[in-house]
Copies of this chain bind each other. A is one copy, B any other.
């Protein structure tokens, strides 16, 4: 075994300090509990610095980071072009009583770039845009009900959550209907059973839910859905918060050959600077205008400047093609490493956002989790049951090193489990 095993002494000390003043210590998708299901012993909790494809934790361990801050890091941490645009703007104006014309510039750029965008509305969270989208659908149609595809995640606003989750009421989710992913007949049946009552179908461009192999859309799925939505006056809302700009700069709906009515962007929009956008077709612009929706920092100029620089650079790099190529190179190598060690690594989803699962005959996830932990302890940041993210700063050398570490991690798991032989 040749790779150094990380120590996390300072991480653990900081986590103890954090637990005193922050609920859960680190919460949400960045926290050990919800985000990763990696034991804290294998897992860094605090970052010291970040650059390009890497971050360093507070113990000085470096990680090749395949989570990319759960998406925002698309060009590489600390990208000079994006950060310089942000810094220059910050010297002039950021959050002001009248907004900057950067808002117009960014909206125009999105309208030019995104196939289904005739306009853009900016906010801070991906969830701000999914919420505005469903409010728009309800206001536009005068209908209440929403269809969700199983495995969905559209943020944390109460309407996106599930009955039984803490703080969620039956009223919050009373108009939510659920169908299996990729099952057009189920969609058709749901629409039929709720004739004239469906405001919108909201879904991600493909099923990249957690704790399950990811699933690309079946041939013709989106085209049939689009057609029925048109016939029935149902808005088709694409939540492109996670995939947006990684599959296709024109939108992931465009990538799969259809057009959304409303499309939600966030993570990759500004390489980590806080901004989200709802884009949509002209016919819904008036409805959006009538909705009461605003926030303290929503028209701040610094994230707009960052987003403009980020989109321009993604175009220049022809980024989706690079991420696909790199993602394929990586996942092919990981799969081979698994096979060479007698494991079956199931790779699903799009290569730019690959999902991994070490297939265990018993169907339990322990072997997968142990393998991921061995990778993380050696400086490759994977998570257990969430899709990963590629970024522009990742090099072929990073990918090769990742595969070597993954190979060693498989060997360690093999050694620790003689019963598998």
- Residues of chain A whose beta carbon lies under 8 Å from any beta carbon of chain B: 14, 17-18, 20-24, 26-30, 34, 44-50, 55, 57-58, 63, 65, 67-73, 77-78, 83, 86-87, 90-101, 103-104, 107-108, 110-111, 118-121, 123-128, 131, 134-139, 144, 155-159, 161, 165-169, 171-172, 174-175, 241, 266-267, 272-274, 276, 285-300, 303, 381
Contacts and interface: CB of A to CB of B under 8 A. Distances in A.
Given A125-B124, A296-B241, A289 B24 contact: yes
A169 B145 CA distance: 10
Chain A's interface: helix, strand, loop or mixed, by majority? mixed
A266 B139 contact: no
A158 B137 CA distance: 14
Contacts of A167: 134-139, 291
A47 B156 contact: no
A294 B48 contact: no
Nearest to A383: B97
Contact of A18 (B103, B139, B285): B103
A30 B70 contact: no
Nearest to A11: B98
Contacts of A289: 23-24, 27
22 contacts: A21-B104, A21-B107, A30-B97, A46-B99, A48-B100, A49-B92, A50-B93, A55-B93, A65-B97, A78-B91, A94-B273, A95-B274, A131-B157, A135-B166, A136-B167, A144-B169, A157-B158, A166-B290, A166-B291, A166-B292, A171-B171, A267-B296
A128 B139 CA distance: 22
Nearest to A50: B93
Contact of A97 (B55, B274, B286): B55
Given A21-B110, A67-B97, 6 more contacts: A46-B98, A50-B93, A69-B296, A97-B381, A135-B166, A171-B171
A143 to B, nearest CB: 10
Contact of A55 (B72, B98, B134): B98
A390 to B, nearest CB: 14
Contacts of A144: 169, 171
A47 B98 contact: yes
A375 to B, nearest CB: 14
B161 A292 contact: yes
A333 to B, nearest CB: 21
Contact of A14 (B92, B97, B104, B137): B104
A304 to B, nearest CB: 11
A30 B156 contact: no
A23 B133 CA distance: 13
A208 to B, nearest CB: 15
A176 B69 CA distance: 37
Nearest to A118: B21
A141 to B, nearest CB: 10
A377 to B, nearest CB: 14
Contacts of A29: 294
